[in-house]
Amino acid sequence: MTLNMKELQISLYSLLIQYFIDKEPVQKIPAGTYLFQEKEEVENIYLLIHGSVSVGRFHVKGKEFIIKILGNEELVIEYQLFTKHPTYHFFAKTMNDCEMIVIKRKQFEEYATSEPAVLSAIASWMSTRYIKSQMKCMDLIMNGKKGGLYSILIRLCNSHGIMTENGIVIDIPLTHQELANLTFGTREVIQRMLKDLREKDVIDYDQQRFTVKNLSYLRGEVDCQRCSKEVCGIN
């Protein structure tokens, strides 16, 4: 039976959970905690059981850019695998209270290299990440600031959306500044575009939760190709 990308990604997470759940405790990490910073030597990988983690970089002028948001049952592995003395290319910060298993890099790599099934799952997981990164770059380059915002909202719906009577609720708290960080824009510009979407009744915003009421409008504005959720996600 052929597995789709999501099933392959889950299989990697499941393989790691099954192996390490009895070896490492589940840790509770409070919101706002940096798991690691850019250029630090890699010590751990993280199995995110519950919560949300942002991954990004800081510009030399101090502005924060968010590259992706990882959610429940996802992996935080942000380095070049199987290299000597690797360093983190990004920071990772908890957006809310999280539960996760922290695994030493060497333990993870020793397990991976000893199990062909794990190596195969890693290859599939990495290929999905590559395609997803290429698609996000294309959206931001081809569609400009406004299209970039619309694309991010679509991706948030796919990764964190819950269908309700009023629309798709993006089930993670997001400030206007965090949304600006995701689109590589300024908070002021993002606020103006969000105001326009609210006036058109495309979105709603309450208590740091976005509700997308008209997903078709956003898709139409960016010529959405309706890719699978595994590719069109914010993770």
Interatomic CA distance for residues 5 and 132, integer angstroms: 11
Which residues does residue 75 pair with via DSSP β-bridges, in sequence order? Answer: 47
pLDDT digits (tens, 9 = 90+) for 67-104: 999 998 999 999 999 999 999 999 999 999 999 999 99
Query: Within 13 A of 126's CA, how many CA atoms are on the CB side?
Result: 11
In this prediction, residue 17 carries a pLDDT of: 94
The pTM for the full model equals: 0.84
CA distance 73 to 11: 11
Quote the percentage of the chain above a pLDDT of 90.
64
Residue 212's SS3 state is: strand
Q: pLDDT tens, 160-192? A: 999 999 999 999 889 899 988 888 888 899 999
